[in-house]
Amino acid sequence: MQKLNEISGEIKALEAKIESVDSKVDVRIDAVEKEVASLRSETLTKLEAADAKVESLRKETKGAIESLEKVTISRFEAVDRRFDSLEAKLPVMEKMAELEARLAELEHKVSA
């Protein structure tokens, strides 16, 4: 009977140790779960901030491209107007060249 009591006491001591270890494991699991949740939250916050920055850059880039397109179109239109002006002047310049040639011819004939 005494042996049985000793074994019973040892079993109770082992159960107490197991409960203690189990409690410590639960505490550590809780701490790990809290840390994981914290890291998850921090990661999501940083990802949301990065998304906001990317969206901001996307809008800024889009605005810059639109502005550049307007400037480019404006410059091409100015070049087109200059060509149109030159095209309008070409017939007049050709006529003047013809008249100068005729005048030189007449001057040559008169002086001869």
- 72-89 confidence digits (pLDDT tens): 999 999 999 998 998 888
Cα–Cα distances (Å) from 49 to 35, 56, 57, in that order, read 21, 10, 12
Q: What is the pLDDT of residues 24-42, one digit of tens each?
A: 999 999 999 999 999 999 9
For residue 75, being part of any structural domain is answered with yes
| Averaged pLDDT for residues 62-72 | 96
Residue 19 lies in a domain: yes
- The Cα-based distances of 76 to 57, 82, 83, 91, 94 in angstroms read 28, 10, 10, 24, 27
Query: Does residue 53 sit within a domain?
Result: yes
Residue 80 half-sphere exposure toward CB, CA atoms < 13 A: 6
Choice between 90 and 68, residue whose per-residue pLDDT is larger: 68
Residue 18 domain flag: yes
Domain assignment of residue 90, yes or no: no
Structural domain total, the chain: 1
Measure the CA–CA gap between 66 and 58, rounded to whole angstroms. Answer: 12
Q: Which domain holds residue 5?
A: 1-84
Token pair 């889009």 is found at 62
Q: What is the pLDDT of residue 87?
A: 86
Residue 106 lies in a domain: no
Q: Is pLDDT above 80 for 15?
A: yes
